[in-house]
Amino acid sequence: MNQVAMPNKLLDVQNLKQYFHPGQENEVRAVDNVSFHIYEGETFGLVGESGCGKSTTGRSIIRLYHPTDGEIYFNGEDISKLKGKKNMQQFRRDIQMIYQDPYASLNPRMKVQDIIAEGIDIHGLAESDADRNQQVNDLLELVGLDKSHATRYPHEFSGGQRQRIGIARALAVQPRFIICDEPISALDVSIQAQVVNLLQELQRKKNLTYLFIAHDLSMVKYISDRIGVMHFGKLVEVGTSEEVYRFGLHPYTESLLSAIPLPDPDYERNRRRVTYQAPKEDGKERSLKEIASGHYIYCSDDEVPFYQKKLEQKKRQ
């Protein structure tokens, strides 16, 4: 997909900082001055080290936290300034999140049908009980579960089945934007393929926009138009998924790419992993700089030529 066809920035995150216990001894800078945007109809993949702030970014967008600093615009509106019950309700419906920990995010005392229909009820999306049931059954089918599952409780499901309940719940309110926090890592590869195909089909049909957080780089590459690589609360590289995969420049990106496991025992026996050591603090000011059209690296001004050369070299190989 190219940017000309989708100029509307549905989500625009500017200089987002999300600190926990700011100013205290145990301060955690979970998200530290991060800026990116997502065009309507696009999938933006977010990858990076465990604990680098991906989920926190998602939770800030969905207003579970008050940002320490920075702005988040959804459809042109600053989400911290949304006023009135109606606007809030619309926002809550437009943005949905599929959570990383499916069990912790499902109310154990609710039947699956009520979990899925919660949003339908809140937003009054069902005309009658029969319609509500029909919608729930359709959603169950959509995510590859069975009607008979509707009356079960979350603990009666396998890990992957629970994850699909979370997906059905997110889809129930017909959102415009979905934050998918590791939506598929608990699923077997065939169901992963089904869910990814499903997400893509819904995207085509309903022009949905996704923020797709994941560790499985081959899947992220496959599903994303653009990718952001995060490390320690900062975005260190952003580019089209093709560019980041083939010509990832930041040393952390290189280390991630070198660690992707492949289903091939011989390859695995001989794998060479590049480890990443964060450089020592040198006092230089760094930010995301455009190295080539649409390809950004977190670096200082004087490192720009170095990365440009590195990119040229990689492209020549």
Ligand X SMILES: Nc1ncnc2c1ncn2[C@@H]1O[C@H](COP(=O)(O)OP(=O)(O)OP(=O)(O)O)[C@@H](O)[C@H]1O
Closest CA relative to residue 28, chosen from 64, 68, 61: 68
* Ordered DSSP codes for 229-296: EEETTEEEEEEEHHHHHHH--SHHHHHHHHT---S-HHHHHT--PPP--PPPP-----EEEEEETTEE
Taking the complex as a whole, the smallest distance from the CB of residue 179 to other proteins amounts, in Å, to: 14
For residue 190, state whether it binds ligand X (rule: CB under 6 A): no
| Residue 51 is a binding residue for Mg ion (CB under 5 A) | no
Alpha carbon distance 143, 136 (integer Å): 11
> Which tokens in the block code for residue 260?
């992707």
Residues 221-260 as x/- pattern, contact with ligand X by CB under 6 A: ----------------------------------------
Candidates 155-163, 171-179, 225-233, 253-261: pick the segment binding Mg ion (CB under 5 A).
Answer: 155-163
Residue 101 as a binder of other proteins (CB under 8 A): the answer is yes
Reference 239, options 296, 314, 310, 286; nearest CA is 296
Asked if 55 interacts with Mg ion (CB under 5 A), we say yes
Integer-rounded Cα Rg, in Å, for the chain is 21
> Residue 147 CB, nearest distance to other proteins (Å)?
10
Q: Which two structure tokens, joined as six digits, stand for 93?
A: 């419906």
**Least distance to other proteins, CB of residue 113, Å:** 11
d(CA 199, CA 193): 10
- Interface with other proteins, residue 222, by CB under 8 A: yes
Decide if 209 contacts 38 (C-beta within 8 A): yes
256 binds, among other proteins, ligand X, Mg ion, none (CB under 5 to 8 A by kind): other proteins
CB of 309 to ligand X, least distance (A): 31
Q: Which of 98, 196, 235, 291 binds other proteins (CB under 8 A)?
A: 196
Q: Length of the chain in residues, anyone?
A: 317
In the list 19, 157, 212, 247, the residue contacting ligand X (rule: CB under 6 A) is 157
- Binding residues among 45-84 for ligand X as defined by CB under 6 A: 50-56
User: CB of 52: closest distance to Mg ion in angstroms?
Assistant: 9
Structure tokens at 213: 């957080």
User: Does 72 engage in binding with other proteins (CB under 8 A)?
Assistant: no
Do 49 and 232 meet the contact criterion of CB atoms below 8 Å apart? yes
Name the residues that contact ligand X, by CB under 6 A: 20, 28, 30, 50-56, 100, 155-161, 188
